Amino acid sequence: MYHWSKSEERLNRYAGRLEGESLSFLVHYWGTVQHLTANSIHRHSFYEICYVDGGKGIYTDGDQMYPLYEGVAFCTIPGRLHQIKDVDGLNLLFVAFEPMERPSAQEVTVKYSEALQRCAVWTEHASDSPAIQIWKSMLLRSESDTSLPASLLPKLAHVLLQSFPGLFGASGSFESAPLLSSALQLVQKAKLYIRDNLGGPVSLPEVAAYLNVSERQLSRLFAESIHESFSSMVRTERIRAAELMLQHTRDPIKVIAERTGFSSVHYFTRLFTKFKGIPPAAYRARWALEADRQE
């Protein structure tokens, strides 16, 4: 069902440093291993969370012993002696990580670590939990067209690690979603309008009228909220749309230039090269090569 070794390689490649609004993680390694062998008693200086996807074994944490079978998840706390032994066809997903300490978010980081320290180290019937469902969604499936793109892995991995205290019985949230101010909501609406109308000459008066604000107010919102001018935003969105079309379509470069609102293919090529550091055709070829390597 899964490409185990390729899944491990992809996770380690794309989900190593996970940045959040206040809570961030440094992942030391991901593992997706079939028929894991027993190991000796040892300890880590970081957290390690494991999920049993099949097989059997025993996990020891200090003097305590816990049975391992499909659906069990267990947590290794930094500094504790532990071991996996008496294994029989044990298939294991695991991730080793530590929260990254930041002066501006020290309280959140401490709360997260304290929650994991207080949690149970072992839980069963975890296969249907949101955390494990997220984890499995990040694996490469045997049917390659059903796997999620690698670009989603950092965000999904961050959500997964953030959810671990809840998996082991902790309550509460460690990072709330930021609320958008009314100014940012207007800017977001402007972005969506620009994206929906990139094929034409999107203008400041047009978008201001759509939002029912003055042109001066809209310009000020862009400058104060995202520190970018209206014209710069339109240009950025055109490049972004063209980039996606180069990745996911076989449309000629000229057609992509027209559909993203550029006055000519020459102007599009010059601007795309300036912002991405590579011409459109070469970008498409490189992206296709990277996609083939992931399969």
pLDDT tens profile 215-261 = 999 998 888 877 888 999 899 899 989 998 998 889 999 999 999 99
* Domains located in the chain, CATH noted: 4-167 (2.60.120.10), 182-294 (1.10.10.60)
Residue 32 token pair: 């997706």
- Is the model more confident about 63 or about 102? 63
**Do 84 and 38 contact (CB within 8 A), yes or no?**
yes
Residue 54 scores a pLDDT above 80 = yes
| Residue 124 DSSP SS3 | coil
| Residue 151 DSSP SS3 | helix
Instruction: Average the pLDDT over 30-58 and give the result.
Output: 94
**pLDDT value, residue 110:** 86
- pTM for this prediction: 0.61
Give the span between the Cα atoms of 1 and 39, in whole angstroms: 26
Averaging pLDDT over each range in 118-122, 143-147, 172-176, which range is the top one?
A: 118-122
Instruction: Average the pLDDT over 36-63 and give the result.
Output: 94
Please, which pLDDT band fits residue 146 given cuts at 50, 70 and 90? confident
What letter does residue 103 receive in the DSSP assignment?
G
**pLDDT value, residue 20:** 85
Instruction: Average the pLDDT over 63-78 and give the result.
Output: 96
Average pLDDT, the chain: 89
Lowest-confidence pick of 82-91, 103-112, 175-184: 175-184
Residue 177 scores a pLDDT above 80 = no
Give the span between the Cα atoms of 150 and 215, in whole angstroms: 40
Give the span between the Cα atoms of 168 and 262, in whole angstroms: 53
**pLDDT value, residue 186:** 86
